[in-house]
Amino acid sequence: MAPLKFCANISWLFTELPDFSRRMSAAAQAGFQAVEAAWLYDTEPPELRRAARAAGVEVVLINTPPGDVEAGDLGLGAVPGRESEFRQGLEMAVKYANSLDCKRIHLMAGRVPVGADRTAVAKEMEAVFVQNLSYAADVLSKEGIIGLIEPINTRITDPRYFLDSPHQAAGILEKVGKPNIKLQMDIFHWQIMDGNLTQNIHKYFPMIGHIQIAQVPGRNEPDSAGELNYSYLFNTLENLNYQGYIGCEYKPQGSTQQGLGWIKDYWTHKPGHLNH
């Protein structure tokens, strides 16, 4: 069984350092061969590309632009009336991804509009999302990029996020029916919304294109106190022969470096891994 591959989410880890370039370098020094990030759009693509090359890390995932964050946007994929902005954001994400040789883009669904009832707008939002994802699939297939959709929990993290469960995401992916649009499983969100992780991982494994991890409920290191037994979950993914990356998208309790004992432990006990 091949060991699992981890990437550092530099929007969450190494935030002791102010810019993404230095975080890439810190991730490499800590033993990571790959990084992911939510939004890199404050930095120009050539600068990011230089930094990734200098650090020797692969950039494996970025998100589509959130839209107008101050106005309450968090992605536009399922938001009615914002289709042209979604397409512009996708174009920008593709430009960054191509510059960074990044092969995965998280296509953010967005939030239920303020004042709207979730159940009342669910059908329309789903139809918009399916249409936008079908459009994205065609754009991304020309670039050899995988598009991902990620359920985000509405109990703790984001009460108005449209896409909140693995089941809802699977239904949408079936309607889109494109091989290059896949499911991003953030175990933190799945546990909060549905639990039943072993069954859900097995059931949806064929759709999964990327994984992210954090402990529940504090969203800290995987080995911090909490509900999840990550050695069991890692074992489950190894047994399924998961070949993709696992993004470390958690809030370190202290410094990032101090909290990396769990991964150093994994690397030490899994001969054949590519890391230091």
96-139 tens-digit pLDDT: 999 999 999 999 999 999 999 999 999 999 999 999 999 999 99
> What is the distance in angstroms between the CA of the first residue and the CA of the last residue of the chain?
19
Per-residue pLDDT of 248-272, as tens digits, reads 999 999 999 999 999 999 999 886 6
Query: pLDDT value at position 96?
Result: 98
Residue 143 annotated to the active site = no
Residue for token digits 């001969």? 271
Mean pLDDT of the chain: 96
Query: pLDDT value at position 228?
Result: 98
Q: Given a cut of 60, is residue 275 above it in pLDDT?
A: no
Per-residue pLDDT of 63-80, as tens digits, reads 999 999 999 999 999 999
> CB of 28 within 8 A of CB of 69?
no
Q: Given a cut of 60, is residue 236 above it in pLDDT?
A: yes
Q: Given a cut of 70, is residue 39 above it in pLDDT?
A: yes
Q: Given a cut of 80, is residue 5 above it in pLDDT?
A: yes
Percent of the chain with pLDDT over 90: 96
Q: Given a cut of 60, is residue 273 above it in pLDDT?
A: no
> CB of 204 within 8 A of CB of 168?
no
Query: pLDDT value at position 276?
Result: 42
Return the CA Rg of the chain.
18
Residue 85 annotated to the active site = no
Query: pLDDT value at position 271?
Result: 63
> CB of 250 within 8 A of CB of 220?
yes
Query: pLDDT value at position 66?
Result: 97
pTM: 0.96
Q: Given a cut of 50, is residue 12 above it in pLDDT?
A: yes
CA distances from 45 to 42, 49, 59, 197 (A): 9, 6, 12, 37
Q: From the candidates 36, 58, 126, 249, which is the catalytic residue? A: 249
Q: Given a cut of 70, is residue 15 above it in pLDDT?
A: yes
CA distance linking residue 155 with residue 68, whole number of Å? 23
Q: pLDDT category, 2, cuts 50, 70, 90?
A: confident
CATH top-level class for 5-269?
Answer: alpha beta
Q: pLDDT category, 1, cuts 50, 70, 90?
A: confident
Query: pLDDT value at position 274?
Result: 54
Q: pLDDT category, 85, cuts 50, 70, 90?
A: very high
Tell me which H or E stretch contains 63: strand 58-63
Question: C-alpha 31: how far from its chain's center?
Answer: 20
Q: From the candidates 16, 150, 227, 238, which is the catalytic residue? A: 150
Mean pLDDT confidence for 222-231 = 98
